[in-house]
Amino acid sequence: MWFKKIIAIIFLIYGTIGLVLPSDPSIIIVGSGPAGIAAATKLLKNNFTKIKILEAENRIGGRINSIKFGDAYVDLGAQFCHGQEGNIVYSMVKDFDILRPSTHKFQMIRSNGEKVDEETANKIMNFAELLLEASEEDPLPECENAKSVGECLDIRSKVLEDSSKNDKQKEIFSEAHPWAKSYISALDGTLDLYDLDYNTTYKTCGGDLGMNWNGHGYKTILEIMMQKYPNPDHQLPIDNKIFLEQTVANISNWQNDNRVTVTTTDGTKYEADHVIFTPSVGVLKANHEELFTPALPADKISAIKNTGFGAILKVIVHFNQRWYENNPTWAFFWTAKDVDELEEKNLEWLLDMEGVVQAENNPNVLVFWYSGSHVPLIETLSEATIKEAHEYLINKFLAPHYNVTMPDKYIRTTWFSNPNFRGTYSYESVKGHSGGQYNLQEKLGSPLMNEDGKLTLLFAGEATHPHYFSTVHGAIESGYREADRLIEVYTK
């Protein structure tokens, strides 16, 4: 009789709360980028101890990758703190006197060796910045009906050329068009400006939009979150929870079981109560069909397919001795004659070179930024081709003004061709907004439950943030969001 009463009580409790939760749940976080580290550190601070972080690369950081090169750290991935007001990265780091304001001002040089005069250069920069600052609430009048940023750029370029005071200035304005395409593409990470939606829901944080890490590298924010900086004695117990070179092949049983199974490419199986998935939307685009069993819901698959995802590329070079002024920033414009020469030499990909800047607090290192449709091609070129092309650039644009020498070391980034990333960051695409499809980021970030209503599969990462997509601060906020989601479940 007493046994039946106990069974009845258990049944009553189970029926009342819906499901029985473990007191110390096991959580697997896929990916150790800023979203994954944010989720893990928040969970650890709230006494969740059964955490495993599975990382496909042989390092942590995801699209943050700071390496020592020259006199300081250079960032192969995320590089700038984009804004101060409302930016969680800035809030975490501001008291450590690390970040420095942006000081770059473009010197514009034509491929015939001429420097662009200041008046013309200022008009070109104002033209580009106006386009960047336009928003859904405050569009440029002439672009009111434009669907893509590419369309608006074409319209604005015609307006700029028509405003020229003479034929030479008009010629320079025309040469600025390919540079402006690369400049804007670099900020949004798109390979195609005609796929970048003109009406964006992205929100800009107030303040300096290009604060740099003064040679410490963006890795510093990971160290701050893990409490390894400023005092490593206070670090969180996270190192032994990170498993490197563990590429996830499949996540199963998330819908119809109480435990989720994560299988890696080497056949290792892990089980957990919850999984937080943080890899890029580029990885989801390529692999979502194989990654999840059963398949993801149709609305999430649609969001994956319709979210834009592209790539930028950096070629970082080191010189034995600096031959240029401190902190130069150059933009290169190609004359029509030299564009023909590029095509003859199979170097038309150099048209996607957005700018050259000195690495922060690293005087002997320059960074060549590339963005646009040629980025996938540039990643496949031989090291010899990269070396020859950049020597050609230096001789063509800079040798007329400096006593140049050639680099002795080169690094080229390969985010697009790396299967663990498939690119750099997300953007809102024209296709994504067609037919009124908005809030794709929220659909990407919505968690999934099993048949009993238990949260089993959660999603974080920059592409899941409704307003700060494409940024590290968006990624961190998304990691905290998913950690908070689980914390709330277990502290009700």
Segments of 372-453 assigned E as strands: 409-412, 426-428, 448-449
C-alpha 255 chain-centroid distance: 30
The answer to whether residue 12 scores a pLDDT higher than 90 is: no
C-alpha 280 chain-centroid distance: 9
On whether the CB atoms of residues 181 and 132 are closer than 8 A, the answer is no
Query: For position 63, what pLDDT does the model report?
Result: 99
Q: Where are the domains of the chain?
A: 14-67+215-309+428-490, 103-207+312-412
On whether the CB atoms of residues 296 and 288 are closer than 8 A, the answer is yes
Query: For position 334, what pLDDT does the model report?
Result: 98
Query: For position 363, what pLDDT does the model report?
Result: 97
On whether the CB atoms of residues 426 and 223 are closer than 8 A, the answer is no
On whether the CB atoms of residues 190 and 310 are closer than 8 A, the answer is yes
What mean pLDDT comes out for the span 252-274? Answer: 96
What mean pLDDT comes out for the span 426-434? Answer: 90
Predicted structure pTM score? 0.94
What mean pLDDT comes out for the span 450-473? Answer: 98
222-259 pLDDT, tens digit per residue, is 999 999 999 999 999 999 999 999 999 999 999 988 89
- The helix/strand/coil state of 489 is helix
Give the tokens for residue 280. 């890029």
What mean pLDDT comes out for the span 371-393? Answer: 98
What mean pLDDT comes out for the span 157-172? Answer: 95
Q: In 3D, which of 74, 56, 52 has the Cα closest to residue 65?
A: 74
Query: For position 102, what pLDDT does the model report?
Result: 84
How many other C-beta atoms can be found within 10 angstroms of the C-beta atom of residue 227? 18
Q: Please state, in angstroms and as integers, the Cα–Cα distance from residue 284 to each residue in 276, 279, 432, 444, 479, following that order.
A: 14, 8, 16, 10, 17
Burial of 436 (0-12, 13-18, 19+ CB in 10 A): exposed
Rounded to an integer, what distance in angstroms lies between the CA atom of residue 37 and that of residue 34?
Answer: 5
The rounded mean pLDDT for the chain is: 93
Q: Please state, in angstroms and as integers, the Cα–Cα distance from residue 5 to each residue in 2, 10, 11, 19, 366, following that order.
A: 5, 9, 10, 20, 76
Q: In 3D, which of 280, 262, 264 has the Cα closest to residue 272?
A: 262
For residues 133 and 66, the model is more confident at 66
Query: For position 279, what pLDDT does the model report?
Result: 98
Percentage of the residues of the chain whose pLDDT score is greater than 70:
94
Rounded to an integer, what distance in angstroms lies between the CA atom of residue 473 and that of residue 492?
Answer: 28
What mean pLDDT comes out for the span 19-46? Answer: 92
Please enumerate in sequence order all residues whose Cβ is within 8 A of that of 466, keeping only pairs 6 or more positions apart, or say none.
201, 439, 441, 442, 445
Phi and psi at residue 315, to the nearest 5°: -110, 115
314-364 pLDDT, tens digit per residue, is 999 999 999 999 999 999 999 999 999 999 999 999 999 999 999 999 999
Query: For position 256, what pLDDT does the model report?
Result: 87
Q: In 3D, which of 386, 385, 469 has the Cα closest to residue 428?
A: 469
Query: For position 4, what pLDDT does the model report?
Result: 40
Query: For position 437, what pLDDT does the model report?
Result: 72
Topology of domain 103-207+312-412, CATH: Polyamine Oxidase; Chain A, domain 2 (3.90.660)
Please enumerate in sequence order all residues whose Cβ is within 8 A of that of 491, keeping only pairs 6 or more positions apart, or say none.
none
Query: For position 19, what pLDDT does the model report?
Result: 55
173-210 pLDDT, tens digit per residue, is 999 999 999 999 999 999 999 999 998 899 999 999 99
Query: For position 116, what pLDDT does the model report?
Result: 98
Query: For position 14, what pLDDT does the model report?
Result: 38
On whether the CB atoms of residues 342 and 444 are closer than 8 A, the answer is no
What mean pLDDT comes out for the span 393-421? Answer: 98
Rounded to an integer, what distance in angstroms lies between the CA atom of residue 243 and that of residue 227?
Answer: 19
pLDDT band at 21 (very low <50, low <70, confident <90, very high): low
Q: Looking up tokens 């069993």, which residue turns up?
A: 293
The answer to whether residue 80 scores a pLDDT higher than 70 is: yes
Query: For position 424, what pLDDT does the model report?
Result: 98
Domain 14-67+215-309+428-490 matching CATH 3.50.50.60: the answer reads yes
* HSE-CB for 219 with a 13 A CA cutoff: 16
Query: For position 136, what pLDDT does the model report?
Result: 53
